[in-house]
Amino acid sequence: DRHQNILRFHRLCELDVNRSLKVLILKNLRRVKLWLFLIFILTLLAYNFENSRRRFKNTPPGPWANYIPFIGYLPFLNPQKPEQSLTKLAEKYGKIFSLQMGSIFTVVLSDATLMREAFKRDEFLGRAPLRVTHGIFHGYGLICIEGALWKDQRSLVQKWLRDLGMVKFGLKRELMQQRIMNGINNCISEFKSLHLNEVNPASVIMNAIGNIANDVVFGVTFDKNDETWKYLLHLQEEGVKLVGVNSGANFLPFLRFLPDNKKNMKFLLSGIEATHKIYDGIVDECEKTLNTSECRDSILRRFLLEKRDREERNDGLANNCSRKQLNYLLADMFGAALDTTSHTLRWYLLLIALNLDVQEKVYQEMKNHGLKEEYLLDDVAQLHYLKATIAETQRLKTVAPCGIPHGNPYTDTTLEGYYIPKNTMILPLICAVHLDKTMWENPEIYNPNRFIDSNDIFFTPSNFIPFQTGKRMCVGEELAKMVLQLFCANVLLNFRIRPGQDAATWDLSGISGLTLSPPDFQLIFEKR
């Protein structure tokens, strides 16, 4: 028994030793695995750092976060106000700097002269490599196309707009002026019906500017209560909020599979499909009456005539005038006209209501030139201070703070002595130019006198670029100026505008999306 007990004891000891050895081995294995994992991560980081260092060699300066694998500087951008984050970086790094934004290498420009130099060059004529934003439009339209198709379509649109009246003088200009005044007079009638009541002017402005755009682009207008029109406005408003260069899915494509992003993408794609169905009905009606006076002259009519001519010539360019290209082009033209112009006018009313002395100075200028029943373009040409108030609004509240990004999809190149690799996004930070403390005195203050010279004449400084610059700059700049000047002159002719009781709560930093829109606000339109 004693011998068996001794044997049993030895076995137990062996088992304990074995267990202890196993535990020790497992612990060491875990440590080894952890160390191997850490070594792998450190090696990956070192490789990424060295690879990035080589890649970023002689590229524009930028923050250390550019070297973070996969995401780069993206987490450090304010998703609600990306332009503010970028402006702070511009103050630190200067007029040109670089960011690794997820998978997209980005060069940001914050100097007007440098933007002009870059955007006149063919290397930077391409669209930015924003996979999601541009993927939605499938390479059609005007904003999201490039190459030969872009040159062809932009040239056509420029010609059509001139033919429709986007010119300095002549009968065509008078016809365009009348189209604009129809929308403005409807807007003024709405405001008169709301005399001394607090009102949010957003819907009134959207209807007025929207119908000016409808008339020029489609040759049709809608009643403000038309259900189709309400639906189109809803799609436009929501779409602008969702489609922006600051969308994370543009820079980290896998994010588009997240539930919220999938929901947003579904809304955008279904909205485009629904919009195109509405457009198809308008296009079909225009085609039926193309050669009659029933078909009102418009971008749509000009497109259909060009398509017919190309098909008759059989010159190979008819493919550029497909129905799909037409629908996306119409959407681009309508959206660009409505969104930027309506937001600028809302900002104008907000700022002019907060600066009653400026408002009265504009009215005094009108009185000095003789008050009229309505102001037309020839009259507005004499109102230099009025034009200065509009320009100051565009400077202080740049509705496209990050402009329209460009790209260099075809080749590596250089800019300002820095290496710019192929497929870089070139971002024109227009808001930084307009708020540059070295170029503007007290840039955060609303002061129209910045645009008035010593002879009391309106002028535009070289660092004022609200319509961007270069070969891809706003194709409808002159038309937008006509609308802005006629609207502001005639509204201030008819009303004294005062802020509502909610003025203390207004967030003047605005709401960032594809454009910078003002907050909701209430105004009082007092008849003069």
pLDDT tens-digit series, residues 90-122: 999 999 999 999 989 999 999 999 999 999 999
Please report the pLDDT score of residue 47 as a whole number.
Answer: 57
Whether the pLDDT of residue 289 is over 70: the answer is: yes
Q: How far apart are CA 390 and CA 393, in angstroms?
A: 5
For the stretch 24-47, pLDDT in tens is 666 666 666 666 666 666 666 555
Find the angle CA(23)-CA(26)-CA(27) to the nearest 5 degrees.
85
Short-list 502, 498, 520, CA closest to 511: 520
CA distance from start to end of the chain: 120
Lookup: tokens for 371: 């008050």
Which contacts of 314-318 are long-range, i.e. CB under 8 A and separated by 24 or more positions?
317/152
Nearest CA among 208, 202, 204 for reference residue 191: 204
d(CA 277, CA 156): 24
- pLDDT above 70: percentage of residues in the chain: 88
User: What is Dmax (Cα atoms) for the chain?
Assistant: 128
- β-strand partners of 498: 524
Q: What's the count of helices (H) and strands (E) in the chain, helices before strands?
A: 17, 12
Report the range of poorest mean pLDDT among 86-90, 192-196, 381-385, 426-430.
192-196
Q: Give per-residue pLDDT as tens, 211-265.
A: 999 999 999 999 999 999 999 998 888 777 666 544 677 888 778 778 877 888 8
Name the token pair of 449.
């006198």
**Tokens matching residue 240:** 């602008």
Q: What is the mean pLDDT of the chain?
A: 89
Please name every residue paired with 105 in a beta bridge, in sequence order, or none if there are none.
100
Residue with tokens 């060059």: 121
Rg (CA), the chain: 30
Six token digits for residue 105: 């290498």
CA dist 391 and 481 (Å) reads 10
Query: What's this model's pTM, rounded to 2 decimal places?
Result: 0.89
pLDDT(135) > 80: no
Residue 358: partners with Cβ closer than 8 Å, 6 or more residues away: 352, 389, 446, 448
123, 410 contact by CB (below 8 A): yes
The tokens describing 182, both together, are 């129809």
Q: How confident is the model at residue 513 (pLDDT cuts 50, 70, 90)?
A: confident
How does residue 8 score in pLDDT terms, banded at 50, 70 and 90? low
Domains, the chain, in order of start with CATH, read 64-522 (1.10.630.10)
Of the listed ranges 28-37, 62-71, 74-83, 117-126, the least confidently predicted one is 28-37
Annotated binding-site members for heme: 474
Structure tokens at 208: 């007025």
Provide the pLDDT for residue 231: 92
Choice among 68-82, 348-362, 470-484 with the minimum mean pLDDT: 68-82
Query: Where in 435-510 does DSSP place strands (E)?
Result: 495-499
- What number is the average pLDDT over the span 266-281? 91
Q: Where does the pLDDT of residue 504 fall: very low under 50, low under 70, confident under 90, or very high at 90 and above?
A: confident
Beta bridge partners of 427: 108
Q: What span, in angstroms and rounded, lies between the C-alpha atoms of 26 and 47?
A: 31
Which residues participate in the annotated binding site?
Answer: 474
In the prediction, which pLDDT does 16 show?
Answer: 60
